[in-house]
Structure 1
Amino acid sequence: MSISLRYAARTDIGLGSKSRNEDSGYAGPDLLVLADGMGGHAAGDMASSTVVAELLDLDGASFATDEALRRLAAAVRAANARLRAEMDDDPELEGMGTTLIAFLRSGNMLALANIGDSRAYLVRDGVFSQITKDHSFVQTLLDEGRITPEEAEHHPQRSLVTRVLTGRDDDEPDLSLREAKPGDRLLLCSDGLPDYVAGSTIEQIVTGDGTPAQIAEALIAIALKAATRDNVTVVVADVIGDDEDGPSSSTPQIVGAAAAHDLAAEEADAPTSPAAKAAALSRAANAPAPRLDDNADDADDAAAPVLAEEGPRRFTGLRRGLFALLVVAVLAVIGIFGYAATQRQYYITQHHGKVTIYQGISQDFGPISLHSVDTVSDIWVADLPSYDRSKVTAGSLTADSRQAAIGIVENLRSDMVTCQAQAADGSSC
């Protein structure tokens, strides 16, 4: 029996301090992709959208099963090489990286590539299971039997990844093939969902009735209700047979950083490609509504007699001037309180090669810096294990207080000492 996909992609920036969405999601007739960018000063949103852009040409192509897996692997390698090229062209991007989950359909088979701690789940015959393995520090602890699954859900270092796409030659994803059956439901999600929502709750929603769009929206809603401080992105796809009622999906959907970066910009000569369709759909969905008050003012001005009295005109000008002053005052107040809010945040990155606590957030507002060095530790970033080093370099370790930030630094110190002890014993860490 031939199969097709009915799908939906949704995202939200979350309730944390991030000012931009670093996730990217794509859903098309033959391709499902989710990438969670790592940033800080480096551009996590650029990393995720760059990688998704490299994979889009796979959608709509026809491959034999073995060829599909080879093509997917080649596309991931090309995406990783493009990350390296982007960083070589712009040193400010150095240290960016991204997770990746990608499914490429070939007949009734799915080629799967996975790297990082974003996840893919499968519902088959009512059974909910995770079909990807996290490349994370916590997963390593689980594999070694040092913590339980329950402890893993709330581990303070659950965000530390051990393998992502960073432009290095050794960034290799897990590759596999699996059969897709009518009735299957796939969920791809960034860690903004499972890090804040219990697995049992996710299972209850995903195994419930509803269209992929309804399921995706419910997952985003529950993540926000759980006060997720990270970007949260989901792609939901139902596998349907050719004898089932209702059409499969045909219009690609693109969300997050990939939509904001307009992946179709380079495809002006091929506006019917999946990427062009998806980006056009995103632009239409996100286009700002007309400002009716401005239009009304324009209409009034156009209809006003040319020889109208000067008094009403001066009054109108005064009114607009006062309104402008009021807007400036309101923005100033918002700016003051907004700046104060940013200074209650902390993050950890490197400064002159050492692990450093910064106060504020890792963005600037024009000429105004929203961050400053709080404490420079005695820990050299180069001495950290690779999974800690990548997080520190990316500036993605955040805290809500200075004390919590100090705790993170001490955890990094503990990991460094453990790693050095293992190295002394001839083991790797």
Structure 2
Amino acid sequence: MAIAFNFAARSDVGMVRTNNEDSGYAGPHLLAMADGMGGHAGGDVASSMIVGALVGLDGESFSGVDATEALLRRITSANVELGHVTEEDPDLDGMGTTLIAILRARDKLVLAHIGDSRAYVVRAGEVSQITKDHSFVQSLVDEGRLTSEEASTHPQRSLVTRVLTGAEGKEPDVVVRQAIVGDRYLICSDGLSDYVARDTIDEILTTESKPGACAERLVQLALRAGAPDNVTVVIGDVVDLNQFVPSDSPQIVGAAAAIRRHTRPIPVTPAAKAAALSQEASGRSADDDVELAEEGPRGRTATILRAVGVSLLAVILLVGGGYAAWSWTQAQFYVGVNDGRVAVFKGVDQTLGPVDLSQPETTSSIDIDDLPNSYRERLGRGITMPTRTDAASLVRNLEVQAQACRFAKSQGRSCGTVPSTWTTPTPTPTPSGTPTPSGTPSGTPTGPAPTSSTSPLQPSSPSISPNA
């Protein structure tokens, strides 16, 4: 029997956060959700890197053993890359992510899990949690020191004991399950499970027939419950392809799908001040050339000296202002296109006569033709980013979209994105020393928008890290 997922993915920033650090992916043969942590230190980078590394598995033909090996290999490789990125960019030190991934392998499902994100299955009207949190409070429950009810309200319930941080030895739990037509799988971030009662989640899962509507209702319930954290929901219904053919355009949500929008500020630069002073100087010289009735004619020498002095002042101001303006442009970054590939440019996307005010700093391997038309158009105009780190993060997010598009095209399908619109403001730093929930969804799930999906992880033995 040929089977696949009828799927949906939704994500929202929550009621408090300003950026989405969750990443979600839903496709016909792969479901994945990662809840990033690290706040301004790059939780969105971590989650999107891990999810992006798995996208290529969607649609591959695996046996159960092969699928397990392929999934673990991709996760391990992505975790190593996470460590390299952290070493190269000290600003990202402390980032990490949870992960739940479900990969179809013929009539089996391989589930990999690390962190406190959760997976549930609905079978014959009954809902069961099929993952166990890698968290501090869960260890207390296992030891009999807390009940499940006490754990749900424990002040340290966000402390995770195992996540992907780039460090060695952080491997997920892996189980192989039988795929049964009619089963429904839910994977979600703690933005849902921490703020919506379990019986309410069960009711929605068992009564809402369509995956998209079900995911939408769960996200909205989390928001109505006042969830401050990101909330991301991925749903997959196991279907018989001989009876029902689901969409084959994958959905990507949260940090993995978001291209941050940043309007270029109007800076009060030294160049602008110099230009104003130059105009003021020119204005004074013009006024001084006017002869007042009570003064009488000026001497020729005095007039020449005054004119020379004003000209020198104007030249000095213009030269100084020009240098200041050039210096400012070279502190700017944007993401655009270089020789048909996505590149990070240093400078501003403008020319001044024969002088180009920008030059490519790094050119990625992302072919612009592997991205949706809307992304190509925006990249053609240049997407301004406030820092080099933000530009690099955007390129990594675009790689996720490019991988999904390449896969869709290889299957003869259109390149699909998320049926929602995100708006992700600039993140605000989390006060140090305060464990906060992880992830931050961006905007309201109503369609893709090329815009921009939490607390430090310092594992020790045993490793306990605040999951933001």
The bucket for the TM-score relative to the shorter chain is: 0.5 to 0.7
The match for 2:212 is 213
Task: Mark the CA change 1:189 to 1:249 in structure 2 (over 3 Å): closer, same or farther.
Answer: same
Greater Rg over alpha carbons, structure = 2
3-state secondary structure, aligned to 2:39: coil
Inter-partner Cα distance in structure 2 for 1:161 and 1:118? 10
The change in CA–CA distance for 1:95 and 1:243 in structure 2 (over 3 A counts) is: same
Match of 1:268 in 2: 367
Q: How does 1:55-66 map to 2 (within 5 A)?
A: 55-66=54-65
Calculate the aligned-residue CA RMSD, in Å: 3.0
**Using the alignment, how far apart are the partners of 1:286 and 1:271 within structure 2?**
21
- TM-score normalized with structure 1 length: 0.66
Residue number in structure 2 paired with 1:192: 191
Distance verdict in 2 for CA 1:387–1:226, change over 3 Å: farther
Name the structure 2 match of 1:67. Answer: 66
> Match of 2:432?
348
Match in the other structure for 2:256: 258
TM-score (norm 2): 0.61
Match of 2:11 in 1: 11
Q: List alignment gaps of at least 5 residues for structure 1.
A: 289-337, 350-355, 359-380, 397-429
Q: Which runs of 5+ in 2 are unaligned?
A: 261-340, 343-364, 372-401, 409-413, 437-456
**How many pairs does the alignment contain?**
308
CA-CA distance at 1:88 after TM superposition: 1.1
Q: What percentage of residue pairs aligned between the two structures are identical?
A: 50
Alpha-carbon deviation of 1:204? 0.6
Deviation of 1:64 after TM superposition, in Å, equals 1.7
Cα 1:382/1:13, change in 2 over 3 Å: closer
Q: Distance in 1 between matches of 2:69 and 2:251?
A: 25
In the alignment, the residues of structure 1 paired with residue 238 and residue 191 of structure 2 have an alpha-carbon distance, to the nearest angstrom, of 25
Q: How do residues 296-375 of structure 1 correspond to structure 2 at under 5 angstroms? A: 347-349=431-433
Question: Cα gap change, 1:268/1:139 in structure 2, threshold over 3 Å: closer, same or farther?
Answer: same
How far residue 346 of structure 1 moved from its aligned partner, in angstroms, is 7.0
Work out whether residues 160 and 387 of structure 1, in 8 Å CA contact, stay in contact via their aligned partners in 2.
Answer: no
Preserved CA contact (<8 Å) 1:62 1:106: yes
Say if 1:252 and 1:274, in contact at 8 Å, map to a contact too: no
What's 1:95 paired with?
A: 94
CA displacement at 1:384 relative to structure 2: 7.3
Give, in whole Å, the separation in 1 of the partners of 2:204 and 2:66: 35
CA positional deviation for 1:249: 2.4
1:26-425 to 2 correspondence within 5 Å? 26-244=25-243, 246-260=244-258, 266-268=365-367, 271=370, 275-276=404-405, 281-282=416-417, 286=421, 347-349=431-433, 386-388=462-464, 390-391=465-466, 396=468
Q: Is contact 2:180–2:238 with CA below 8 Å preserved after alignment?
A: yes
SS at match of 1:135: coil
Higher helix share: 1
Query: 2-side partners of 1:284 and 1:152: how far apart?
Result: 35
Alpha-carbon distance in 2 for matches of 1:357, 1:171: 21
Equivalent-residue separation in structure 2 for 1:70 and 1:384 (angstroms): 28
Deviation per CA, 1:176-231, whole angstroms, max 9, x where unpaired? 11111010000000000010111111011111132000100000010001000000
Partner Cα separation in structure 1 for residue 2 and residue 8 of structure 2 = 21
Question: How far apart, in 2, do the equivalents of 1:66 and 1:195 lie?
Answer: 34
Corresponding residue of 1:420 = none
**1:319-369 deviations in whole A, cap 9, x for unaligned?**
xxxxxxxxxxxxxxxxxxx9xxx8xx97333xxxxxx899xxxxxxxxxxx
Conservation of the 8 A alpha-carbon contact between 1:59 and 1:274: no
CA contact (8 A) 1:14 1:232 kept: yes
The CA deviation string for residues 240-266 of structure 1, in whole angstroms up to 9 with x for no partner, is 11343x42221100000000159x965
Q: Distance in 2 between the 1:151 and 1:135 partners?
A: 17
Counterpart amino acid of residue 256 in structure 2: A
Q: CA deviation at 1:127?
A: 1.1
**1:34, 1:100 within 8 Å by CA — same for their partners in 2?**
yes
For the 8 Å contact 2:119–2:187, the answer to whether it is kept is: yes
How far did 1:386 drift? 4.7
Shift of 1:268: 2.4
User: Is the alpha carbon distance of 1:357 and 1:83 closer, same or farther for their aligned partners in structure 2, counting shifts above 3 Å?
Assistant: closer
Partner letter of residue 7 of structure 1?
Answer: F
Q: CA deviation at 1:271?
A: 3.2
Supply the distance in 2 between the matched residues of 1:382 and 1:125 (Cα, whole angstroms).
42
Deviation at 1:153, TM superposition (A): 1.2
Superposition deviation, residue 120 in structure 1: 0.5
Cα distance in structure 1, aligned partners of 2:159 and 2:71: 26
Q: How far apart in 2 are the matches of 1:212 and 1:81?
A: 34
> SS state of the match for residue 196, structure 1?
coil
Contact 2:94 2:458 in 1 (8 A): no
Given the superposition, is the C-alpha separation of residues 243 and 83 from structure 1 closer, same or farther in structure 2, using an over 3 Å criterion?
Answer: same
Q: Write out per-residue CA displacement over residues 128-185 of structure 1, whole angstroms, 9 at most, x where no aligned residue.
A: 0001111000110110010111111111111100000000111110011111101000
- Summarize the Cα distance change of 1:182–1:175 in structure 2 as closer, same or farther, 3 Å threshold: same
Give the Cα–Cα distance (whole angstroms) in 2 for the partners of residues 110 and 91 of structure 1. 38
Aligned AA (2:100):
I
Judge conservation of contact 2:48–2:255 (CA < 8 Å) in 1. yes
Runs of 4+ residues over 2 Å off in structure 1 = 264-274, 277-288, 345-349, 381-388
